[in-house]
Amino acid sequence: MIQKAFPSYLHKEATKIADFLQQNDPKNFKIIGTEIVYLNGEVLELPQRVYFGEYNTQSLTLVQEQMLNCLYLCHCNGHLREHYLRELLIVKEDFTLPFIAKLFGDYVIEIVKVLHSELPDVTRDKLRDFFRENSLYQKRIESRIASYWDLFYRNVYPDFKKYVGYQLFQTTIK
């Protein structure tokens, strides 16, 4: 399943990541659900949620570590999602884009605020293209933004257009 989350040129690396996770956490390692996206014309299946711990990554290459960090953006722990988002914002590789895009619709406002304030312009431009290639996914993210605002943040941001998630999305897709 991890292979399907990354472009085909990274399948060998993805297999190493899967083996690494199985070796480090064979009992607790889980992936729940997937979402289909396209990256440069290639179909990928992003995990909706992953469950595994944090490990010493000394045995991984830089690219493998970046790929593992992408998976952490799907982690059940919001603190880990936020931490690894900051790590990935400096990475210029396109394979990170679907994972970063997923966080636009996160319910943890601290994560959305990190994206809003720290997302590099070059990544924002690439994400604009990514969302154009994934119009259905874009609509799902927009729906999540509105739903989480309604559920959790309506009292803090009575005007939806002042909600940081809305502002982030609007400044990225336009």
Confidence at residue 174, expressed as pLDDT on a 0 to 100 scale: 86
Instruction: Answer whether 67's CB lies under 8 Å from 13's CB.
Output: yes
pLDDT at 118 over 90: yes
Query: 121: which residues sit within 8 A by CB, 6+ positions away?
Result: none
pLDDT bracket for residue 149 (50, 70, 90): very high
Question: Do you know the residue count of the chain?
Answer: 174
Return the closest-CA partner of residue 61 out of 10, 25, 7, 6: 10
pLDDT confidence band for 127 (50 / 70 / 90) = very high
Q: What pLDDT, on a 0 to 100 scale, did the predictor assign at position 117? A: 97
For the purposes of burial, counting CB atoms within 10 Å of the CB of 156, is it exposed (0-12), middle (13-18) or buried (19 or more)?
Answer: exposed
The model's pTM is 0.95
Residues β-bridged to residue 47: 34
pLDDT in tens, 14-42: 999 999 998 887 777 888 999 999 999 99
Q: What is the pLDDT of residue 159?
A: 97
Q: How many other CB atoms are found less than 10 A from the CB of residue 3?
A: 17
